[in-house]
Amino acid sequence: MHNPSQPSLFRIAGLPYFVIAFVARLPFAMMVVGVLTVVVSARESLSLGGLTSAAVGLGTACFGPLLGAAADRFGQRPVLVVLAVANAAALVAFTFVVYSAAVDVFVLLAAFGIGATAPQVAPMSRSRLVTIIADRMPEQNRQRTISGTMAYESAADETVFVFGPFLVGILASAIAPWAPLAIAAILIVVFVGAFGLHPSARAVSKQRNADGSAPSAVGELFRPQLLIVLIGTLGVGLFFGTMLTALTSFMADRGAAEQAGVLYGVMGVGSAILALGVAWLPPRFSMRARWLAFSGILLAGTLLLPFVDSPGAMMVALGIMGAGIGPTLVTQYSFGAARSPLGRSATVMTMLGSAIVVGQSLGAALTGQIAENVGTSTALVLPIIAAAVAFTAGIVNWRLSAIHRRRVD
């Protein structure tokens, strides 16, 4: 039972924090699809659109972890304020390049710039909240609070990653193909700026500096126990990219490509609800067992894809996948939080976030090429491979967790 004299995380951080952090991550979810939409419209090339989306992911892969390391070194506030301005400028510049007579290479470079300056709001929010929990909450409440926080954060990510593409579609249809990127740029300046300037950023930075202990060596980031979590989240990212693109191709074959986002939402809503439910699972259902169980459900759902022949059957398969994907992601982030080396929390969370974006971008680009050149049935095999990556990483993690536990004992 909660002791009223002990502060809850919600009370410590405050409602405005959660509102700002939620809206601030929305532009990140709009970027990949927004870039694809405007390129296909302005340049009339689906393959260039896919490559451009992959360039955004590549930019995030190259610079995302470095931005996380910069936040650990200099504090989140200065890093986020600079990125809010830089990323908004990159989105505006990209829009001008796409509609100009510039050759395709400059379009790809501009897209890379969007990914390179993308503010890592979700991982930095996780890092910020985990630090607050460690610094300001009673020890007996920490593990359950961290589990609940990771569940909330993953559910928030799921929600924006479903709502982001949906919003892009509405804005592009109602106003113009460039509108989603323009709106995203405004949201970045206002909400990412507000997230960076929120008092919690200063509190975390102060605590880090006051601690007096030097952060762990960079080599600690490459321990097998952490790398396997990174591979697992890459598998989840690959699943997001391959599934959405294969689903779009599946619906396009039926003359209703625009309904792909609605069907995808079925998976996203169920996933977000179950992700929140992870916090209430009994402690004896261990994290390593959760990873295997829920990624197994995800894999089982994808194995239905070769036999799906109607939108109704696809909804059933997506519902099963949704039951697995959200809890899997929550568990992976919980492992990331538990295994973060001292003083490297933002770096680790950004590495995991970057792995998802990279997987999503590469999965979407590859699936788009296969769907266009080989066919939808072949494209629908790729989500199975992606789910198998996440599940296999869970098997390896089970073994690594057992080794780690014996060493600790």
Query: Which among 163, 189, 161 is positioned nearest to 82, based on CA atoms?
Result: 189
- Please write the tens of the pLDDT for every residue from 343-370: 677 778 888 888 888 888 888 888 888 9
| Mean pLDDT for the stretch of residues 173-196 | 91
pLDDT computed for residue 409 by the predictor? 28
Give the amino acid at 320: I
Mean pLDDT of the chain: 83
3 state SS for the chain: CCCCCCCCHHHHHCHHHHHHHHHHCHHHHHHHHHHHHHHHHHHCCHHHHHHHHHHHHHHHHHHHHHHHHHHHHHCHHHHHHHHHHHHHHHHHHHHHHHHCCCCHHHHHHHHHHHHHCCCCHHHHHHHHHHHHHHHHCCHHHHHHHHHHHHHHHHHHHHHHHHHHHHHHHHHHHHCCCCHHHHHHHHHHHHHHHHHHHCHHHHHHHHHHHHHCCCCCCHHHHHCHHHHHHHHHHHHHHHHHHHHHHHHHHHHHCCCCHHHHHHHHHHHHHHHHHHHHHHHHCCCCCCHHHHHHHHHHHHHHHHCCHHHCCCHHHHHHHHHHHHHHHHHHHHHHHHHHHHHCCCCCHHHHHHHHHHHHHHHHHHHHHHHHHHHHHCCHHHHCCHHHHHHHHHHHHHHHHHHHHHHHHHHHC
Most confident of 60-64, 215-219, 403-407: 60-64
pTM for this prediction: 0.78
- Please write the tens of the pLDDT for every residue from 116-148: 999 888 888 888 888 888 777 777 777 778 777
* CATH ID of 19-408, from 3.40.50.300, 3.30.70.20, 2.60.40.10, 1.20.1250.20: 1.20.1250.20
- Please write the tens of the pLDDT for every residue from 292-306: 999 999 999 999 999
Which residues in 77-106 are b (16+ Cβ under 10 Å) and which e?
bebbbbbbebbbebbeebbebbeeeeeeee
What residues contact residue 176 under an 8 Å CB cut-off, 6+ apart? Answer: none
Q: What is the dihedral of CA 352, 356, 359, 365, to 10 degrees?
A: -150
- Please write the tens of the pLDDT for every residue from 53-78: 888 888 988 898 888 888 878 888 89
pLDDT computed for residue 215 by the predictor? 56
